[in-house]
Structure 1
Amino acid sequence: MFPMIPLISSYLSIAIIALAAVILSSSYSTIAPAHQLQDIKMSFSAFRLQLSSLLRHSSPKVLTSTSRKAFFSTSPSLSQSKPAMAEKLSFLDAVRNRRTYYALNKDAPVSDTRIQEILKEAVLNVPSSFNSQSARLLVLLGKDHDEFWDIVLEALEGVTPADKFESTKGRIAGFKGAYGSILFYEDPEPVNKLVSQFALYADKFPVWSEHTSAMHQFALWTGLEAEGFGANLQHYNPIVDAKVADRWNVPLEWSLKAQLVFGGKTGPPAVAEKAQTDLSKRLFVHGAKE
């Protein structure tokens, strides 16, 4: 909580020792023979050089972007379970490393407790328009995760052509084989309240609600991958909405937006290198200093 205290204590101890040495040297000079006094002065000079070197090498360091903790760092006691890689990632590193992974298994690089910490940090800190806080997350782990994908497969069987269903089963089995799923909802109640309060922006609030959900999706996708998970984003709504609402007591008025599947990585990302269009056609900066 106070990382500078040990360093200050060390400096204070060194200063006291140095002061004592000065006083002792001054007092002893009145009674000591000349050759002993010379030895004391030489020893004290060596001590001062050592002290100067210690102060130079133990001075506080400023954290650079590559040494800061990654997304969603909590108090030291809560973040001890994080892998070393998460400690070293900067925000931009985490954004750059976020990719789509389909080859996933049920091996988790961090505990369920750590997963919940990340989820809480996202819910508390990801922004929303007019602070609507309209995002709702349903997190399914273990048997609940498996059951969700069974529901998805059952729903797809009724709408998928028979000759396509086998490949569909394989794809859903891949999602089921992952560690967990996050279902992203938007609650219309706070959104509708803003519509009634701010008529000038009435037609914008539903759009901004979508932005809110997207930011939560991006933050958690990036945050989980910073912890060592792989993840991919799916959209099997609305065909599963009613059954999911019934099974996990989700209010029917909530709108399901996406499902983030995450798990241990068993292969490379879906695309080895993202194809990028010309940056000069996508980024425009005016007024920047040289």
Structure 2
Amino acid sequence: MNYLDAIIARRSRYALKNTINLPEDKVIEAIKDSIKHTPSAYNTQSTRAVILLGENHKKLWNIVKEALLAKIGAERFVATEAKIDKSFLSGYGTVLFFIDEDVVKEYAEKISDNFYGWATESAGMAQMNVWGALSSLGLGASLQHYNPLIDKKTKEAFDIPANWKLLSQMPFGDILSEPGAKTFKDIDELVKVK
């Protein structure tokens, strides 16, 4: 599979199984390599990731459920809980993505305030690289954003440094079913050639 094929094959896959079709260490290695080789402004390497497996993966999604129940109430929570159970908790693992704010602050003070934006860009590339890598291994994934609602409890539960800012959660696992057809805007509205 070439790079463009991997980009095209990458989709949000919500129907996940709590299995993976290859050795766990291969998945961990792919995630680490994806983070390691993601570019960053001035090679600051401010993106951080935590891979949650087994009970830690389940613990995260239970933190999400507890936070949402408290926020939206029991009546509205029923549908939300079903979605979390079937789409995220049902997976094999979750990658948490962060920005190390100490690194960003250091470079922002020395060089430019633009480092806050550049760090976010680099983290976005890392998320896409990990997602593409998981997809190329035949695994499904999606990108979720339950922060800042879960930030404090997540940091406490997994001993995350205070200077790491949570950006997103990527549950992954074997694919239970494929998503429906994707719709696209007219590409000529999105890309101009002059």
> What displacement does 1:162 show?
2.6
Paired with 1:239 and 1:283, the residues of 2 have a C-alpha distance of 35
Query: Structure 1, residues 84-122: CA drift from partner, whole Å, max 9, x if none?
Result: xxxxx1111111000011111112011111011102211
Give the drift of 1:284: 2.4
Counterpart for residue 164 of structure 2: 254
How many percent identity over aligned positions?
Answer: 33
- Bigger Rg over Cα: 1
Of 88, 93, 102, which residue of structure 2 is paired with 1:189?
A: 102
TM-score by length of 2: 0.95
What is the distance in 2 between the residues matched to 1:125 and 1:231? 20
For structure 1, the 5+ residue unaligned runs are: 1-88
Query: What residue is the counterpart of 1:7 in the other structure?
Result: none
Counterpart CA distance in 2 for 1:278 and 1:156 is 36
After superposition, give the CA deviation of every residue in 1:228-260 in whole Å (9 maximum; x if it has no partner): 101111011111111111111101221100000
Q: Does 1:165 align with 2:73?
A: no
Report what 1:85 is aligned to. none
Q: How many residue pairs align between the two structures?
A: 193
2:37 aligned residue (110, 120, 125): 125
Report what 2:133 is aligned to. 223
Relative contact order (alpha carbons < 8 A, sep ≥ 6): 1 or 2 greater?
2
Instruction: For residues 111-168 of structure 1, give each alpha carbon's deviation from its aligned partner in whole angstroms, at most 9, with x where no partner exists.
Output: 1110111022112111111111001101101111011111111111110133211111
1:268 counterpart = 2:181 = no
> Residue 60 of structure 1 corresponds to which residue in structure 2?
none
CA contact (8 A) 1:105 1:264 kept: yes
Stretches of 4+ aligned residues off by more than 6 angstroms: none
Contact 2:145-2:167 within 8 A present in 1 as well:
yes
Which segments of 5 or more consecutive residues in structure 2 lack a partner in the other structure? none
Task: Tell me the SS of whatever aligns to 2:78.
Answer: helix
How far apart in 1 are the matches of 2:178 and 2:68? 28
Question: In the alignment, which residue of structure 2 is the partner of 1:280?
Answer: 188
- Paired position in structure 1 for 2:118: 208
Deviations 1:14-67 (A, max 9, x none): xxxxxxxxxxxxxxxxxxxxxxxxxxxxxxxxxxxxxxxxxxxxxxxxxxxxxx
Contact 1:178–1:262 (CA under 8 A) maintained in structure 2? yes
Question: What aligned pairs does 1:60-209 form with structure 2 within 5 A after superposition?
Answer: 89-174=1-86, 175-198=88-111, 201-202=112-113, 204-209=114-119
Letter in 1 for 2:53: L
Q: Which stretch shows the higher mean deviation, 179-188 or 122-131?
A: 122-131
Q: What do you get for the CA RMSD once the two structures are aligned?
A: 1.1
Helix, strand or coil at the partner of 2:72:
coil
Contact 1:242 1:252 in 2 (8 A): no
Deviation at 1:285, TM superposition (A): 2.9
CA contact (8 A) 2:31 2:133 kept: no
8 Å CA contact retained: 1:105, 1:177:
yes
Matched, 1:242 2:152: yes
The one-letter amino acid of 2:101's match is P
**Offset of 1:220 from its aligned partner?**
0.5
